[in-house]
Structures are given as C-alpha cells and as structure tokens.
Amino acid sequence: VTGRSGAGRLASKVIVVAGGGGGTGQATALRLGAEGAQVVVGDIDLAAAADVAARITAAGGSARPLAFDMGDPASTAALVKFAVDTFGRLDGLHNIAGNPAAHAGDLDLLSTGFETWEAQFRSHLFAYAQAAKAAIPLMLETGGGAIIMTSSAASRSAMTTRVAYQTAKAGVETLTRHIASTYGKRGIRCNAICYGMIMTPNALNLPQAVRDEALASIWSPRHGRPDDVAGLAALLLSDDGEWINGQVIDVNGGRLLGP
C-alpha cells in the first residue's frame, strides 16, 4: 500500500498550466499549487498569471508566471522550456487556455471563412499539439510525465454552429489518444478533460437563456464551477492517475445522459 492521497500528492512535481491566469485554468493552477506542485502559470494575460502565481506562493507553495500566446508556436514552446530552466524538470503539462477571440465568425459550414477555421485550429488544436511536442522530450529525460488536454462537449454534440471549434476539439481528443498510444510505453500519459458548461467569469457573460438551457440539459441541480474540474486535473497529474491513459473524461453534471 502506498498511501498517495491528500495534500502534497503533487509534491516535487513540476507542472505547466498553459492558460492558468483565468477561468478554469486559474482554479486548476491554485489547486495544483495547494497540492504541492511547483507550478508554471502561463497566460497571455501576464498580470493575471502573476496574480495566480503570487497567490500560490502566499499560500506556501511554489509558482512562477510567464506570458505566452497560444496562437504562437514559438512562445508556446518557450513556456514549456521555462519550466525546466526554472525548476529543473518537467512532470506535467495542462493545456487549458481558451481563446475567445478565435470564435468570431465561427458559424455553420457554409458561412464560416477559412481565416476562422485557421484561428480556431491554431488556438484550440495546434497550440495544444505544439505544447505537447515541446513537453514530451523534456518529460522523457526523467522517465515520463502526464499531459492533460481540455476538450468540450461541443466535440461530440450535434451543433449547428461553431463548426471550426467543435472540429478542433474533436481533434484534441484524437491527439490525446495518439500521444497516449505513441509514448505510453515510455512513461507518458495523456488524457483529456471534456467540459460541459463551466461558469467562469467569461461564461457568466453568456445570455441568461443560454445558461438556462445548459442547466436544463444536465442532471446536476447547479451549473459547473471551475473547482469542479481542478480536482480531476490534480488526480490525473499525480501518481494516483498513473494507470489512466488515453481517456476523454467528461465533467459535465451528467449532460451526456440527457434529460
């Protein structure tokens, strides 16, 4: 018996949260720090990342912020490398950033222009692939590591809009299985957390009707909160998740069961 549970199960793990300044990324970075990880908080909003890192440090943890743009492959790779330069190793990567600007003009197939497809794929698929590509060789140097991708219920929904986003997120799930199967024998694990609607500050700006419809489509009595995904991320990045690989795990209040 190896008692791994409880606070400190991420002690000595160095983890990059790519998109840790706000929304679910913020809640996740704070949770990872509280469980003992040394956290690199990457975000396009450096002030937000710095604030999260400062909160982790103030609570007795260890964290450093860095600005990066998920639309820029070089800065995404630099974020991952920063972890090794700062903390000496890399054990975990959580691709969690979302780029609201990429959604502009993302409608049905006939109405959506190539530049919108490109923006969605660049932010919501290529950036995740780029970060993982940078992380895997560094993880292999120390015997492996854990990667988490962030997907959306949109990837498996019959949606009549946001064609590029839902296709990009379906690609994220396929990428997850590719990484798990290709590098699993060498100690790399890759899983996706697939969200239903989570009430981040951005989601709270959605029209009331959209929020009401989302609540009506799940079996939970309440909307999802950022902390609802943070605990699963901590588990998957810890040794408790050592035998979980290649999975897409839904956190959605029972949405796929359908009322």
Ligand X SMILES: NC(=O)c1ccc[n+]([C@@H]2O[C@H](COP(=O)([O-])OP(=O)(O)OC[C@H]3O[C@@H](n4cnc5c(N)ncnc54)[C@H](O)[C@@H]3O)[C@@H](O)[C@H]2O)c1
CB-nearer residue toward ligand X: 45 or 240: 45
Q: Which long-range contacts (CB under 8 A, 24 or more apart) does 97-100 make?
A: 97/18, 97/19, 97/25, 97/42, 97/43, 97/44, 97/70, 97/123, 97/127, 98/19, 98/23, 98/123, 98/124, 98/150, 99/70, 99/71, 99/123, 99/124, 100/202
* Residue 233 found at the interface with ligand X (CB under 6 A): no
Q: Which residue has the tokens 């903390």?
A: 87
Give the interface size with ligand X as a residue count (CB under 6 A).
28
CB-nearer residue toward ligand X: 9 or 132: 132
CB-nearer residue toward ligand X: 9 or 168: 168
DSSP state of 241: G
- Of 148, 179, 181, the closest CA to residue 15 belongs to 148
CB-nearer residue toward ligand X: 9 or 152: 152
Is 195 among the catalytic positions? no
* Residue 241 found at the interface with ligand X (CB under 6 A): no
How is residue 253 written in tokens?
């209040």
Among 128, 165, 183, 195, which one carries the catalytic annotation? Answer: 165
CA distance 36 to 185: 27
In the chain, % helix, strand, coil (3-state, to 5) comes to 50, 15, 35
* Residue 134 found at the interface with ligand X (CB under 6 A): no
- Figure out which of the listed residues 191, 200, 238, 247 binds ligand X, where binding follows CB under 6 A: 200
- Figure out which of the listed residues 38, 112, 116, 152 binds ligand X, where binding follows CB under 6 A: 152
Q: How far is the CB of 144 from ligand X (least distance, A)?
A: 25
* Residue 176 found at the interface with ligand X (CB under 6 A): no
Binding site for ligand X (CB under 6 A): 19, 21-25, 43-45, 48, 68-71, 96-100, 124, 150, 152, 195, 197-198, 200, 202-203
- Positions annotated as catalytic residues are 165
